[in-house]
A and B are shown apart, each in its own frame.
Chain A
C-alpha cells in the first residue's frame, strides 16, 4: 500500500495521567505474577466452600432434623449425660445429650387431634390468612398499576412512601398499632368519635381484634408486594399492549388478556410468599392482642411458642412445628400446581 498515513502517532489514553496508569499496570502485573506463583492445591476449593456447609449444618440442618427427632419425645429436663463418645486413643470426644427425653412415639401427634387450642389457633390463622392475603394482594396490585400508569407523577416518592412500612421494626410498629387501636385513648377511636361513631372495642372484641391484626399486617406488607408487582408490570413488553390495542382491546381487555397472564408468575410468587408469611404470623398478635381476647387471635406459631417456651413442652411444640411445616408446604405446592403451568 502506497497510501501515506502521516498521522500514525501512539494513541494517548483519554484518562491522561500516565503516572497513575503506570502505577495501576504495576499492581496488575504484580497480581498476575503472584497468581502464577501460587501453589496449586488439588482440593483447596473444598476449604473455601466449607464455611457455608459448617454454618448451614450447625444452624439450619441440625435444628430441622433435631426438631423432627424431638417430636417423638417428651421433654423432661436439661441433661449433661453422654449421648455417645468417640475414643481414639489420645483423643476422647464426648457428645452430651442435649436434653433428657422420654420416647412417646406418635403420642404428641395423637394429642394434637384432641387439643382444642391447637384447632383454635389453626382456625384463627386460616381466618386471618383468607381475609388478609386477598385484600393485601388486591391492594398491592391496584397500587402497582396506578404507579405504573404513565400519567402519574412523583412515582419515586409514592413508591418509596408506600414501601417504607416494610422497613419498620415489627415490635415497634405493632406497639404503635396497639396504641392506635386502644379502646379509650387510641387515635382510631378518637377519629371515629369525632364523626359520631361509637368507640369500638378493637382489642376486646373477637371480630375486631382479628381485623386489627389484619390491618396491621396489611399495612406493613402491602408496599413490599406492590414493589414486586410493579417490577413485574414493568417487565411486560409495551408492544403487547400496542398489539392488543390494534386488535381492538379495551382498557379492561388489555388488563384481562395481557397484564394478568403476563403477571401470573409474579402474582403466583407474591401469593405463595404472602401465604407463607401470614401463616407464620407471630409478632403482631403477640404484641397487639397477646392472642386474646380468649384466644381469638392466637396463631399457630404463637401457640407453638407458648408450648415450647412457656410450658416447656418441647416435644409437643416440635410435633406442632412438623405439622405446621407440612401444612405450609402442601398449601404452597397446591398454589404452584394450580397457578404455574409454564
Chain B
C-alpha cells in the first residue's frame, strides 16, 4: 500500500510532431488507502493520467512517486500496480484460474499450489469459485468483470487502478457492482485510482474526486465539497445530475438581469462587485415553482420519476430543469413562476468561469434532509 504523488505530471503525445498535450502539470496526492475517482468528459486526460500511473504511457515531464519511491521511469511490470480495464482484457485462451493466477506466476516466487490456494480464496471472495475452469468467452459480462477484479486483487498490489470498469455492464448490475467494489476496496484498504466519465459513479464511490477537463486538473475534493463549492463553472456543470441551470446575467448594482425577463435582487452584492456580467447557476433541486413572481418560464416536458418530478422549462432559449415534488405536475406549455434562495445561488465570472459565490445554504451535516417545496 502506498501514497501516490503526482508532481507537475505532463503527458504530450508525439512531442516531435503534432504535440498533443493530454495532461498538463497535474499535481495530485492520493493518500494511502484512499479511493480517488478521476472524472471528466471524454478526452479530458483522465485515462491518460491513469495510464501514466500504471506505466503504460511514458511520462513526458514531471514526477510520479509511490510512497517515497520515485517510479517515474519504472516500467509497468516494476511498479507493482494492478489494473482493471474497461473491457476487462482477460486472456481469452486461459481459463479463469489461469487468468487470475497469471500475475502471481510471472512476478512472484510462489509455488504452483500456493498460487492455486490464493486464486481459490480470491475466487471465493468474489463468488466465482464454480467458474474457475471456464474460459472468458463462456462468462457473462458481470462474471468477466469479477475475474478481472480477481486478477487485480490476487496480486495484493500497492496500487489499484481501474479504468471505467463498470461501463460495460447494464445499469442494474452496474449499481450492484458499485457497492461491491466499494466494500472490497474498504476491506482491502488498497490505494485506488478509479477513472470514470460518469459523475454519479464518481460522487457515489470516491473518498475524494478529481475533476479534469482538457488535460488540466480542475478541482480535487470530497464529493460534497466539489458539488457545493465548485471552483469554476465547468466543475459546477459537470458534477450533478440533472445538471445545474446556467444563464448569463447583467449586473445592475445588486440586481441580476437575465434573458426572458429574469430578475434577481441580491441581498449581498459583494461577490458581483466590479463585474458587469456574470454567469448564474442554480441546482435543479433549489428551484421551486411558486404562485407568482418576476421569474417565469414555459414548461416543455415533465418527467415523473416516482419520488419526484423533473420539470423541464424554457427561459427564452435557455433550457432549465427543476426537481419538484411528485404532487406538482404542471402541463407542457404552461407558464410557471419559479423562485430560489440566494443561499443556493452560484455565481461565476463571465469570462474566466471562476466561482464568485457558491452554495451556502445547508451545512454539510444536514445536506441529506429533504428540501421542502
The reply to whether B83 and A246 contact each other, CB–CB distance below 8 Å, is yes
**Is A81's beta carbon under 8 Å from chain B?**
no
**A240 engages B89 (CB within 8 Å):** yes
Answer whether residue A94 sits at the interface, using C-beta atoms and an 8 A cutoff.
Answer: no
* A245 with B77: CB separation less than 8 A: yes
Q: Assess whether A249 is in contact with B56, with CB atoms less than 8 Å apart.
A: no
B333 and A239 form a contact (CB under 8 A): no
Whether B83 pairs with A262 at a CB distance below 8 angstroms is no
- With A1-B333, A249-B106 as given contacts, are A242 and B85 in contact (CB-CB < 8 Å)? yes
Mask for B130-168, Cβ within 8 A of A = 1, else 0?
000000000000000000000100010000000000000
Interchain CB contact under 8 A, B77 and A249: yes
Distance in Å from the Cβ of A339 to the closest Cβ of chain B? 13
- Known A3-B298, A239-B87: A246·B82 in contact at CB below 8 Å: yes
Is A198 an interface residue, CB under 8 A from the partner? no
The proximity string for B residues 67-111 relative to A, scoring 1 for CB distances below 8 Å and 0 otherwise, is: 000000001110001110101011111100000001100110000
B91 touches A257 (CB 8 A): yes
Give the residue of A237, A246, A262, A264 whose beta carbon is less than 8 angstroms from that of B81: A246
In the bound assembly, the distance between CA atoms of A234 and B302 in angstroms comes to 50
Question: A243's contact among B85, B298, B300, B332, by CB below 8 Å, is which?
Answer: B85
Closest to B106 in A: A248
Contact A3 B92 (CB under 8 A): no
Q: Are B77 and A2 in contact (CB under 8 A)?
A: no
- B250 at the A/B interface (Cβ < 8 Å)? no
Query: Given A3-B314, A239-B87, A246 and B76 touching (CB < 8 A)?
Result: yes
B102 partner residues in chain A, CB cutoff 8 A: 244, 247, 257
- Bound CA–CA A247/B154 (angstroms): 11
A2–B335 alpha-carbon span in the complex (Å): 11
Q: Mark A1-41, 1 if CB is under 8 A from B, else 0.
A: 11100000000000000000000000000000000000000
B54 contacts partner chain A, Cβ-Cβ < 8 Å: yes
Structural contact, B107 and A243, CB atoms closer than 8 A: no
How many chain A residues touch B (CB < 8 A): the figure is: 22
Closest to A248 in B: B107
Question: Interface residues of A: mostly helix, strand, loop or mixed?
Answer: helix
* In the bound complex, CA of A1 to CA of B299 (Å): 10
Assess whether A258 is interfacial by the CB under 8 Å rule: yes
Q: Name which residue of chain A comes closest to B79, CB basis.
A: A246
Chain A residues with CB below 8 A from B82, complex form: 246
**Which chain A residue shows the least CB distance to B91?**
A240
Could you say which of B87, B107, B332 contacts A1, with CB atoms under 8 Å apart?
B332
Given contacts A3-B298, A239-B87, A261-B93, contact A246 B54 (CB under 8 A): yes
Give the residue among A237, A242, A253, A342 with the most B Cβ atoms within 10 A. Answer: A242
Residue of B nearest to A260 (CB): B93
Q: Is the CB of B103 within 8 A of A248?
A: yes
Q: Are B56 and A245 in contact (CB under 8 A)?
A: yes
B75, closest chain A residue (CB): A245
| Closest chain B CB from A151 CB (angstroms) | 13
B-side contacts of A237, CB under 8 Å: 87, 89
Are B89 and A243 in contact, CB atoms less than 8 angstroms apart? Answer: yes
**Does residue A250 face the partner (Cβ distance < 8 Å to B)?**
yes
Query: Could you say which residues of chain A place their CB within 8 Å of the CB of B103?
Result: 246-248
Task: Contact check, A242 vs B93: say whether CB atoms are below 8 A apart.
Answer: no
Determine the chain B residues whose CB is within 8 A of the CB of A246 once the complex forms.
Answer: 54-56, 76-77, 81-83, 103
| 25 A-B contact pairs sorted by A residue (CB < 8 Å) | A2-B333, A3-B300, A3-B314, A237-B87, A237-B89, A239-B85, A240-B91, A242-B83, A243-B83, A243-B151, A244-B91, A244-B102, A245-B75, A245-B77, A246-B77, A246-B81, A246-B82, A247-B77, A247-B103, A247-B107, A247-B155, A253-B106, A257-B91, A258-B91, A262-B92
Residues of chain B at the chain A interface (Cβ within 8 Å): 54-56, 75-77, 81-83, 85, 87, 89-94, 102-103, 106-107, 151, 155, 298, 300, 314, 332-333
Interface residues of A (CB under 8 A from B): 1-3, 237, 239-240, 242-250, 253, 257-258, 261-262, 264, 342
User: Which 7 A-B pairs have CB atoms at the shortest separation, nearest pair first?
Assistant: A248-B107, A247-B103, A239-B89, A261-B93, A243-B89, A248-B77, A245-B76
